[in-house]
Amino acid sequence: MSPILTISGLHKSFGELEVLKGIDLTMQRGDVVSLIGSSGSGKTTLLRCVNLLEDFEQGSIELAGEKIGYREDGAGQRRRLSEREVARQRAMTGMAFQQFNLFPHMTAIRNVMLGLIKTKKMPKDEARAVAEKWLERVGMAARSDHYPGQLSGGQQQRVAIARAIAMNPQIMLFDEVTSALDPELVAEVLAVVRDLAVDGMTMLLVTHEMRFARDVSTKVVFMHQGRIHEEGTPEEIFGAPKTERLQGFLANSEI
């Protein structure tokens, strides 16, 4: 089976600061990969590169057999794809953000329908039906006509996940989707993510919830200072960490 996502030799700098120093990562369809690591190690930046929200200087990202973000012109020069191409490729990945980022002037269902109508060119009725289905899946069907301001953080995050996943992406990216939530709201969001994982959704997620990462992941990747420092199955990473750094990191995390 050919991989759904192949990241090779990815380098990314912000000015002088090199944040990703050569990342290689391969995912198969249905994989659930958790990125862990201390703050500033480059986890968010890696997700944002996959979602093409950041430029990157070196390396390549291949999604479902297609190189994304850049192409090589006749002279072998690396060139950013046109805005339209990039927009199309972005829709192949779904992203859930730490801060939800729902559109405050639209009801929950409108939030979900927007991409379906504008990007997927779905007729309104069909878009509404798809949106209803996903809101139902995340347990938000009863609130589909509420505005984000009328929802709790956990409810907003569930709508945001529905908005991303309704686009039928090849892979879902989750960036610490529970870290902006009050503790009592974390479980409802994790339950939704877990559900999607069980259903076979391909996911790359950044999380501080170690117990959760251990439960849902097929692979865990520990990042340190812009590199993959150690990777393995949840049992290997949490049960028998090899490097001192990872041991230190885990000792300081709640499990």
Partner 1 sequence: MSLLDGLGDTILISVSSVVLGTILGVFVGLAMTYGQKWLRFIVRLYIDFLRGTPVFVLILACFYILSVVGVDLTAFQAGVLALTLFCSSHVGEIVRGALSAIAVGQTEAAKSIGLTFVQTFIYVLLPQALRQILPTWVNTATEIVKASTLLSIIGVVELLLATQQVISRTYLSLEFYLFAGFVYFLLNFVIEQAGRAVERRISIP
Supply the minimum distance, in Å, between the C-beta of residue 222 and partner 1. Answer: 26
Residue from 71, 118, 124, 133 in contact with partner 1 (CB under 8 A): 118
Q: Nearer Cβ to partner 1, position 105 or 211?
A: 105
Residue 128 engages partner 1 in binding (rule: CB under 8 A)? no
- Confirm or reject binding of residue 164 to partner 1 (CB under 8 A): yes
Quick check: 2 binds ligand ADP (CB under 6 A)?
A: no
Site string for partner 1, 140-159 (x = CB under 8 A): ------xx-xx---------
- DSSP per-residue letters across the chain: ---SEEEEEEEEEETTEEEEEEEEEEE-TT-EEEEE--TTSSHHHHHHHHTTSS--SEEEEEETTEE-SEEE-TTS-EEEPPHHHHHHHHTTEEEE-TT----TTS-HHHHHHHHHHHTS---HHHHHHHHHHHHHHTT-GGGTT--GGGS-HHHHHHHHHHHHHTT--SEEEEESTTTTS-HHHHHHHHHHHHHHHHTT--EEEE-S-HHHHHHH-SEEEEEETTEEEEEE-HIIIIIS--SHHHHHHHHHS--
34, 44, 157, 207: residue in contact with Mg ion (rule CB under 5 A)? 44
Binding site for partner 1 (CB under 8 A): 51-53, 83-84, 87-88, 90-91, 93-95, 97, 99, 101-105, 114-115, 118-120, 146-147, 149-150, 160, 163-164, 167
Q: Which residues bind Mg ion (CB under 5 A)?
A: 44
